[in-house]
Chains A and B, each alone.
Chain A
């Protein structure tokens, strides 16, 4: 798992690559909670380089969405690969998570609530 971070005015962009599964989920969860605790409320997670997500990874996204919703913040997931999108659909989480085809679309979504 390789994590990239970028800050734009009012938006924190976290990029994940390779695999988000049982062995890497805790690392990502800790980082996301750290970002939220530091005061960022608009978070975009770029999934364009993420090849695989398991149930453990889905839980991390749900946890992040819940924590941000509780503080009037917003989470958007951007550019999932076909496989990752399929996992979201199978797991039925797209009604709870905001998933967008591109990073720019996700950024516009979190900025304009």
Chain B
């Protein structure tokens, strides 16, 4: 808890080497559970703690190289990670929602009733309330959930007795002093660190998106700082006697749902998390949350996470490559939870990879994205004959390559409109004496079209011709076309030399 609290505060630091600048709580990461169990069984808690400390160091190194790996994390990759984080909550939330204990009968009607009341109490203010009430759906849902849990007898009495018996104040202690090292479990922890890092990339991408209405792409510098904050938390956890830390996805979903995203929330949140380590009775009360209420919270949050991830995936044009990158990773990620035991015979060293749908899907989506980049060329050329109906050719060309490049649909649309206007005008007014050569190049920040033809340069007026001129003067139509092209592009350069014309259009991406 202490490590989580400190890391949560560090996470919110803005414009510093450490921290993403966003409110994104950090807590014990599920990515480390499998590796920690393996280490515990192999060499006891001393081994767990040292490997956790080393994982923190490894994560810090990953954080440093992340900004150079921007091309590994296009929106379809980060979006899938966010979606899988949400889908993982289904596995955690639905059994609790329905009171499923792993034995027959599978559904407890009283637990389901309590969960439904709690969920309804959260959804109601979110959908219908106005003003400050919209910020507190979780508190309202928790209150309704706890109350109905007591009324309908859905309370774990043993855990309640433990809560009542816990001391009010206590000093936390490390379960076992000392350290131990065993190289056999090292791969498991490195994989867990990688999975945790990729999960953080997804969570922090979502934080960026919900805090910026004009979000276009992941800011890897901010993510790097955020992963470093998590790495410090993991290292601290190893020193203090905890497990590896990671960004707390459910809280990101809560921020999305409530709109409570201010980084200033992180400080009291982090302090409270650290204090819980010294207040065992309060910590026990929080931990004693009735399962159906927990289930309702997880279902509520999962709705936002899953849909937010899908929104990020579909914010770019998708072609066959991207469809398989996302689809294959999603399918095999889901197979972990849909077919329990499918990967039970996987060697222990790589078992953390198959321990959760999130781990396998994130690693797969990154690797597949790398693989399917083979054969993508960032520059394509189209030849257009004037007088022919090249407009469909332009549309097909831009849509096809825009999908391959994963470009933003609105930018491709503007570029397509500009090229169509240019072709139409040089044809209608016989500015071009031969074919047009259109070369289009793309990178994550720029889309450039370089058009060359023999003939006369068309006008690119900065002023719109008047309505009267448009109706009475044929040449004004060419002027309107040039004006439109200038508005579509973010930058335009045009030149004519010895009858050879060149028009360069730049679109910010």
Q: Which residues of A contact B (CB under 8 A)?
A: 19, 21-23, 52, 54-56, 58-59, 62-63, 66, 83, 87, 90-93, 96
Contact partners of B509 in chain A: CB under 8 A? none
The verdict on A90 contacting B487 (CB below 8 Å), with A22-B428, A62-B467, A62-B471 known, is yes
Q: Within the complex, which residue of B417, B471, B477 is in contact with A56, where a contact is CB–CB below 8 Å? A: B477
Which B residues form the contact surface with A (CB < 8 A)? 389, 391, 413, 417, 420-421, 424-425, 427-428, 464, 467, 470-471, 477, 480-481, 483-484, 487-488
- The answer to whether B424 touches A22 (Cβ under 8 A) is yes
CA–CA, A90 to B421, complex, Å?
13
- Verify A87–B417 contact, CB threshold 8 A: yes
- Please give, as numbers and ranges, the residues of chain A lying within 8 Å of B464 by CB-CB distance: 91-92
User: A87-B484, A91-B484 given as contacts; is B417 within 8 A of A55 (CB)?
Assistant: no
On whether the beta carbons of B428 and A19 are closer than 8 Å, the reply is no
Q: From residue A84, how far is it (CB to closest CB) to chain B in Å?
A: 11
List of A residues within 8 angstroms of B480 by Cβ: 55, 58-59, 91
Instruction: Give 21 CB contacts A-B under 8 Å.
Output: A21-B420, A21-B424, A22-B424, A22-B428, A23-B391, A52-B420, A54-B424, A54-B484, A55-B477, A55-B480, A58-B480, A59-B470, A59-B477, A62-B471, A63-B471, A66-B471, A87-B484, A91-B464, A91-B480, A91-B483, A91-B487
Query: Given contacts A55-B425, A55-B480, are A62 and B420 in contact (CB under 8 A)?
Result: no
Secondary structure at the A interface, as helix, strand, loop or mixed, is helix
Give Cα distance in the complex from A62 to B467, angstroms: 7
- In the bound complex, CA of A63 to CA of B468 (Å): 10
* Least CB distance, A61 to chain B, in whole angstroms: 10
CA of A92 to CA of B413, assembled, Å: 19
Distance (whole angstroms) from the CB of A15 to the closest CB of chain B: 21
A56 to B470, CA, bound (A): 10
| B429 to chain A: closest residue by CB | A22
Q: How far is the CB of A16 from chain B (nearest CB, A)?
A: 16
Query: Which B residue's beta carbon lies closest to that of A65?
Result: B467
Question: By the criterion CB–CB under 8 Å, are A96 and B467 in contact?
Answer: yes
> Once the chains bind, are A56 and B428 in contact (CB under 8 Å)?
yes
Residues of B within 8 A of A62 (CB): 467, 470-471
A55 and B421 in contact (CB under 8 A), knowing A21-B391, A91-B464, A91-B484? yes
Contact residues in A for B428 (Cβ distance below 8 Å): 22, 56
- Asked if A55 meets B484 with Cβ closer than 8 Å, knowing A21-B420, A22-B428, A96-B467, the reply is yes
When the two chains form their complex, are residues B413 and A83 in contact, meaning their CB atoms are under 8 A apart?
yes
Give Cα A65–Cα B389 distance, bound, in whole angstroms: 28
Residues of A contacting B424 in the complex (Cβ-Cβ under 8 angstroms): 21-22, 54-56
11 more A-B residue pairs beyond the given contacts A55-B477, A59-B480, A83-B417, with a C-beta to C-beta distance below 8 A: A21-B424, A22-B428, A54-B424, A63-B471, A66-B471, A87-B417, A87-B484, A90-B484, A90-B487, A90-B488, A91-B480
CA distance A91 to B389 in the complex (A): 24
Contacts of B470 in A (CB 8 A): 58-59, 62
Determine the chain A residues whose CB is within 8 A of the CB of B488 once the complex forms. Answer: 90
Q: Smallest CB–CB gap between A65 and chain B, Å?
A: 9
